[in-house]
Each structure stands twice: as structure tokens, then as C-alpha cells.
Amino acid sequence: MELRQLRALVCIAECGNLTRAAQQLGMQQPPLTRLLQQLEAEMGTPLMERLPRGMRPTAAGLALVQEARMVLARVEAMAGLVQDAAQGGRGHVAIGFTSSAALHPLVAQVLRAFRAQWPRVKVTLEEAGSGELLDGLLAQRLHAALVRSAWEAQPSLSSRHLLSEPMVVAGPLGHALMQSRRPLPLAQLRGQPLVLYRRPAGPGLHDSIVAA
């Protein structure tokens, strides 16, 4: 079975006449008749009922015409689908983020902008610690990850700095260091007990705070 046979069958069924169908297809009537006869031979049953004036599909022919229309529609759409996919218009992207990064407006803005530009690309999201996100990228389970601090250089990965944020310290209202609204020198935190991220959950952020 060939696409040209299916196109011929659909056209004959819609025109109800071999002569008109041949004109619409831009071919002579004898070759069109042969296409129909070849298709009927392959199917093992008549597909068109010959009438005194024209022809109409048999029950088998009508069933094949309906299927042929769907097949031809899919074929015609294939070129557009292929071009769309080649230009990034379709597909799937998996994005990871840390729980703290998810609270930043940038993440929501980036996701909304991406969905607006590529509405047919499926986006899946994964929330995890920095170490788990790094493993996901290295295993190619994730395509990108949004984290709050840089990782150590990885040969197979590249990173881009998106924005900088001020570091702040929070403490009890009655604490001596909390009495002033002026910036607090880091030196004044020397010797103070600190509540930090567990390093396995956020090694980059933990190390940045300790280094500071």
C-alpha cells in the first residue's frame, strides 16, 4: 500500500467520479484507474462501487477512506513536526532546583518565560539538595539546575552566574548584635554559635558562609 494509492482513493471517494478525481490530482484517468485497481487487489475486496454515473465507496472502501484520511493528515503534519522539533519547539526538559532557590522570584520568572516561548516543550521539575542535583546533572537525568551557590568545577558541566544576593544574619531580638540597623561586620560574628545548612544538603552555600 502506497500513499499515492490512499490519496487516489480519498480523492475518488470525495469526487464520486474518476474523471473529476483525475483532474484534481493532475493526472490522466487510466493511471488513476490502475491505482484503484492495485489497491483493491491488495485489499482483496472492491473498494468502490461502480454506478451508471460515477462511483461511491463500498462498506470496505468507506472504512479505508476514513483511515486513509487520518494517515494522510499525519503524513502532512510530519514535516511541520520535524521542523518544529529541530528548532526546539518540541521535546522535554528536566529542571532541578534547591528548596531555597524555589522561593526566589527569578525561578518563577524563568519558568514562565520558558513556557511562554516554548509552549509545546514538556517541563518536569525536581526539588532536591545541591548534591543530589549535581548527581542528576552528571547522570543526565536533569538538563539544568538552579542553585544558590557555585559548585566545584566539573569537566562535563558548565555554569552561569545569574545574580548576586546580599548575605544577612538573623538572630534573637534581645541579642546584642541585633540592636543596630547598620550593616554588621562579619568579624563580629567570630565566636558566635551559628545555625547553618547541613553541608550534605547545601555544600556550596555552607562553604560560602564558612569562608566568609
Neighbours of 146 (CB within 10 A): 18
Dihedral sign of CA atoms 198, 204, 207, 209 in order: negative
Phi, psi of 41 (to 5 degrees): -65, -40
| Residue 94 binned pLDDT confidence (cut-offs 50, 70, 90) | very high
Q: Please indicate, yes or no, if residue 168 is contained in any of the structural domains.
A: no
How much is the pLDDT for 59?
Answer: 92
pLDDT for position 87: 62
170 occurs within a structural domain: no
110 and 77 share a domain? no
Residue 21, domain member (yes or no): yes
More confident residue, 131 or 62: 62
Does the residue 163 lie in any domain? no
What are residue 193's phi and psi, to 5 degrees? Answer: -70, 130
Q: Mark whether 57 and 26 lie in a shared domain.
A: yes
* Rounded Cα–Cα distance for residues 53 and 87 (Å): 50
If pLDDT is split at 50, 70 and 90, which confidence band does 64 have?
very high
CATH value at residue 122: 3.40.190.10
Structural domain includes residue 52:
yes
Chain centroid to Cα 82, Å, comes to 14
Q: Which of 146, 164, 188 is the last residue of a domain?
A: 146
Residue 204: give the domain boundaries.
176-211
Q: What is the pLDDT of residues 23-46, one digit of tens each?
A: 888 989 899 899 889 999 999 999
Strands 144-146 and 121-127 come out as unpaired
Grid coordinates of 184: 554588621
Can you tell me the mean pLDDT for 117-145? Answer: 88
C-alpha cell at 159: 555554569
Stronger pLDDT, 86 or 156, i.e. the higher one? 156
User: How far apart, in whole angstroms, are the C-alpha atoms of residue 40 and residue 31?
Assistant: 14
Q: Which amino acid is at 197?
A: Y
Integer Cα distance of 165 and 171 in angstroms: 19
- CA–CA dist 61, 46 (Å, integer): 7
- Say if residues 6 and 75 touch (Cβ distance below 8 Å): no
Examine residue 13 and state whether it is found in any structural domain, yes or no.
yes
Instruction: State the average pLDDT for the chain.
Output: 84
Q: How many folded domains does the chain comprise?
A: 3
Identify whether 47 is part of a domain: yes
The per-residue pLDDT for range 97-111, each reduced to its tens digit, is: 888 777 788 888 888
Q: Provide the 3-class DSSP secondary structure of residue 54.
A: strand
Is there a domain that residue 36 lies in? yes
Q: Report the share of the chain in percent with pLDDT over 70.
A: 92
CATH number of the domain bearing residue 66:
1.10.10.10
Shared domain for 25 and 45, answered yes or no, is yes
Give the predicted TM-score (pTM) of the model.
Answer: 0.50
Task: Verify that 50 and 81 share a domain, yes or no.
Answer: yes
Regarding whether 107 and 71 lie in a shared domain, the answer is no
> Which pLDDT score, from 0 to 100, does residue 141 have?
92
